[in-house]
Amino acid sequence: MSFIKENCGIAGVYNNKHSAEILYLSLFSLQHRGQESCGIVVCDGKTVNIKKGMGTVSEVFKDGTLSSLKGSFGIGHVRYSTTGSSSSKNIQPFFSEYSGKPYAIAHNGNIVNSHLLREKLEKRGSIFQTTLDTEILMHLITISKKIKFKDKLLDALSKLKGAFAFVILTPDEIIGVKDPWDFRPLCLGKIKNGYIVASESCAFDLTGARYIRELSPGEVVFINKDGIESVHLPQKKISRCIFEFIYFARPDSNIFGASVYNARKNLGEKLAEEFPYSGDIVVPIPDSGSIAALGFSQKRGIPFEMGIVRNHYIGRTFIQPFQISREVGVKVKLNPIRNVIKGKDIIVVEDSIVRGTTSRLRIKSLRDAGAKRIFMAVSCPPIKYPCFYGIDFPSRKELIAARYSLNHIVKEIGVDGLYYLSLDGMLSSIGLPEEEFCTACFTGKYVIKDSHFEGKEQFEL
Ligand code: SF4
């Protein structure tokens, strides 16, 4: 399990009197995509009700707060900040009034030309309430010369470059938007007589909604009293984030039309085929390495053992009562089971290595618990480049694989052998066209080259 921060999760519901409750459950299912803040905006066609706050869904929507959110359609958001600081002014959905009518936007991804767009808008006199790249869309809509809102929106969207999955609330509809590069997932479902959209299909399961399909690249879906209407933005080179399958998305989700569980298990099987070492047991780093480890174990016929146990009760609520070392901090989260690993050669399956610092501490705790030899199998290639499309990877100088050779990393994290899944192996494991994936964090090949993204706090004073 890497300490990579997710991007965000979004959801929208149309035509259900329990919209707020459905959004609450959807956001709860998408909580893994962001825990800094969250919000719900619902509308009954006349009034708009909003509740937003810093913290997780269960912290913000404590007893009673949902019942005041009346409306038959709405949108919601869970946030991890990738553009704009983590502060109350930046909590989404972003809400504003235009021509006396309410509009709200929730966004997952990063708009890479946001710096240039905001500079131009500010020169024209636009005043921004937030430091979100999301707000730029609303300003672009208001300055568009088109007449109808739909045309203004399409005009505004055509100016954006980068990763953007949006759900938008207007006075009488919700709209789902997928960028034409297809960086981030967005699914469509049916719920009773209405519709639901969400970043991942796991959001549908709790609400009783039925998965219909993934939005296609560049699709803009208008959901209103007339049903569903789809419009498509001009085509671009498809570049889906492969990291959604490796780490971000929940294994019980379908994203981009493929099962995350199957993809993760296939990654483990492919890794087992390529892995040059052997061992007595296969041990996952829970939870994100577990399914790849299962695939690895089944492919190689080496027993799968939960040699490391995860404490599920810490998360954001773990408050250190006294100063503890980083080493103890790692053990609080993941603790080795001594009698499972003592005296054994173990193959540790990890989804990814970012800085390498937590891997080093985990390997040390496995050694302290008596492991004889430790080989590490990583279910993706070395991460060498930052992401500009909504994932908060550190800069190149902090990425261990960008700085050091394989031999050096082996020494640095203290393993007896280390192997990363090959790029081809990774691409062939997902079950979607290989040429339609973004692999920029592994290869440095960015599909949008003229990025001016300057870090998530680029718009802060
Ligand atoms: S650079 Fe990596 S994390 Fe970012 S969108 Fe591409 S594959 Fe995903």
| 357, part of any domain | yes
Last residue of a domain, one of 218, 236, 254: 236
In a shared domain, residues 294 and 405: yes
C-alpha dist (Å) from residue 259 to 72, 263, 264, 284, 459: 31, 6, 9, 20, 37
Q: Is the CB of 440 under 6 A from ligand 1?
A: yes
Q: What is the mean pLDDT of residues 292-309?
A: 97
In DSSP notation, 171-236 reads TTEEEEEE-TT--S--EEEEETTEEEEESSTHHHHHHT-EEEEEPPTTEEEEEETTEEEEEEPPP-
- Statement to judge: residues 288 and 433 lie in one domain: yes
**One domain for residues 301 and 215:** no
> How confident is the model at residue 392, as a pLDDT?
80
Are residues 91 and 225 both part of a single domain? yes
Rounded Cα gap, residues 335 and 310, in angstroms: 7
Query: pLDDT tens digit string along 42-96?
Result: 999 889 999 999 999 999 998 778 888 999 999 999 998 655 666 788 999 999 9
How confident is residue 315, by pLDDT bands cut at 50, 70 and 90? low
Nearest protein Cα to ligand 1, atom 2: 441
DSSP 8-state symbol, 355 = S
Among 217, 236, 255, identify where a domain stops. 236
- Rounded average pLDDT over 277-306: 96
241 lines ligand 1 (CB under 6 A): yes
Q: Is residue 416 part of a domain?
A: yes
Looking at the fold, whether 230 and 298 belong to one and the same domain comes out as no
Q: Say how many Å lie between the CA of residue 66 and the centre of ligand 1.
A: 35
Residues 350 and 209 both lie in one domain: no
Q: Which of 6, 179, 387 to mutate to test the pocket of ligand 1 (most atoms within 8 A of CB)?
A: 387
Q: What is the pLDDT of residue 455?
A: 55
Cα 279 from Cα 18, distance rounded (Å): 53
Q: Which domain CATH number covers 76?
A: 3.60.20.10
Q: How far apart are CA 439 and CA 240, in angstroms?
A: 9
Residue 459 domain-assigned? no
pLDDT of residue 318: 47
Q: 160, 78, 158, 186: which is closest to 453 by C-alpha?
A: 160
Shared domain check, 322 and 428? yes
- Domain match, 303 and 403 both: yes
Active-site residue flag, 441: no
Residues 24 and 143 in one domain: yes
| Per-residue confidence (pLDDT) for residue 452, from 0 to 100 | 56
Give the tokens for residue 312. 């599920």
pLDDT grade for 427, boundaries at 50, 70 and 90: very high
Q: Do 199 and 269 fall within a single domain?
A: no
With respect to residue 258, please indicate whether it lies within any of the assigned structural domains. Answer: no
Q: Answer whether residue 199 shows pLDDT above 90.
A: yes
pLDDT band with cut points at 50, 70 and 90 for residue 360: very high
- Is 389 near ligand 1, meaning CB less than 6 Å away? yes
138: in domain: yes
Nearest to 133, CA basis, from 81, 83, 78: 83
Residue 399: CB within 6 Å of ligand 1?
no
In a domain, 354, yes or no: yes
Q: How many domains does the chain have?
A: 2
Mean pLDDT of the 436-457 span = 80
**How many angstroms separate the alpha carbon of residue 98 from the centre of ligand 1?**
35
Say if 224 falls within a structural domain. Answer: yes
Query: Does residue 79 sit in helix, strand or coil?
Result: strand
pLDDT for residue 457: 52
Indicate whether 222 and 285 sit together in one domain: no
Task: Supply the mean pLDDT for the chain.
Answer: 91
Among the listed residues 442, 444, 422, 437, the one whose alpha carbon sits nearest the alpha carbon of residue 267: 422
Distance of alpha carbon 72 from alpha carbon 406, whole angstroms: 55
Residue 252: inside a domain: no
pLDDT in tens, 398-416: 999 999 999 999 999 999 9
Q: Are residues 83 and 211 in the same domain?
A: yes
CB pairs under 8 A, 24+ apart, for 60-66?
61/24, 66/20, 66/21, 66/24
Whether the predicted model's global pTM rises above the 0.75 cut: yes
Phi, psi (rounded to 5 degrees) for 98: -140, 125
Structural domain range at position 30: 8-236
